[in-house]
């Protein structure tokens, strides 16, 4: 494939920063992720880890502690960590949506998909073949590659939005009617049937996020080792580096 054809396909697939995409194969480094995006990424990763661990324990409580009940507040601390991390996740998501409007073009990739672009879906198929070890090397991308962009939108953004809504709906039960959680998210419980149904779907959402995180970490490390551009270090420094 000629360089001109590759540049055109990449530009159509991402729809952002055409000049940077066209220049990607010939440059050493380009600044991609701004500081707020990188800080959000790592804080969000910590929040999801705490939420998954504490959420699992809340759904499958620990054995009874010995001695007087008044001497222990273990489940209380676990629930507090879960609720606090939930607030961090929700506020972080709002902040990330805000930054999609005021940040650079790459900050918007998490929330948008060029679904009407045939070139985009061709690149998704190319990346699927790369992950399946069917092609010798992937194309180069300045921002998220098309497959990662698709996974981030459906596997992270929509699932996290679902988890925030169901989580605050369940929290609103404890906060009781009249609380802002109940007023804003109380409609979720009758919509899904009953409280236990929301608990079940919330827990399934947790497992889907766990699966996403595993695949996300695997793909990032694999791309750093076998691909043609940096991934993990880019989310630390903000700079994407390329190699031939």
Q: What residue ranges define each of the domains in the chain, with the CATH number in brackets?
A: 3-241 (1.20.950.20)
Q: How many CB atoms sit inside 10 A of residue 180's CB?
A: 10
Residues 85, 79 contacting (CB under 8 angstroms): no
Decide if pLDDT at 241 tops 80.
Answer: yes
pLDDT tens digits, residue range 67-88? Answer: 776 778 888 899 999 999 999 9
pTM > 0.85: yes or no = no
* Structure tokens, 177: 């009617």
- Most confident of the ranges 57-61, 62-66, 168-172, 227-231: 168-172
What SS3 state is found at 31?
strand
Tell me the per-residue pLDDT of 81-130, one tens digit each, with 9 for 90 and over: 999 999 999 999 999 999 999 999 999 999 999 999 999 999 999 999 99
Reported as a single tens digit per residue, the pLDDT across 23-43 is 555 557 899 999 999 999 999
Across 41-129, the runs of DSSP E, i.e. the strands, are: none
pLDDT band at residue 15, thresholds of 50, 70 and 90? low
Give the mean model confidence (pLDDT) for residues 152-171.
Answer: 96
Strands (E), the chain: 29-31, 239-241
Collapsing DSSP to helix, strand or coil, 238 comes out as coil
- Strands 29-31 and 239-241, bridge-based pairing: antiparallel
């Amino acid at each position: 494939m000629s360089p001109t054809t590759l540049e055109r396909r990449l530009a159509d697939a991402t729809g952002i920063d055409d000049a940077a995409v066209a220049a990607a194969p010939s440059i050493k480094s380009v600044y991609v992720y701004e500081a707020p995006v990188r800080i959000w990424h790592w804080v969000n990763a910590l929040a999801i880890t705490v939420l998954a661990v504490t959420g699992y324990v809340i759904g499958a409580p620990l054995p009874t502690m010995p001695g007087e009940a008044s001497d222990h507040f273990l489940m209380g601390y676990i629930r507090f960590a879960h609720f606090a991390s939930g607030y961090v996740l929700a506020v972080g998501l709002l902040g990330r949506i805000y930054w999609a409007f005021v940040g650079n073009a790459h900050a918007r990739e998490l929330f948008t998909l060029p679904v009407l672009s045939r070139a985009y879906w061709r690149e998704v198929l190319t990346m699927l073949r790369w992950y399946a070890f069917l092609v010798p090397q992937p194309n180069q991308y300045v921002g998220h590659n098309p497959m990662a962009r698709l996974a981030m939108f459906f596997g992270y953004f929509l699932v996290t939005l679902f988890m925030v809504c169901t989580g605050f709906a369940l929290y609103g039960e404890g906060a009781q009617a009249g609380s802002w959680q109940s007023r804003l998210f109380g409609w979720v419980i009758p919509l899904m049937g009953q409280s236990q149904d929301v608990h079940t779907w919330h827990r399934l959402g947790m497992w889907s996020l766990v699966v996403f995180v595993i695949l996300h970490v695997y793909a990032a490390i694999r791309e750093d080792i076998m691909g043609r551009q940096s991934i993990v270090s880019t989310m630390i420094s903000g700079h994407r580096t390329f190699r031939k």
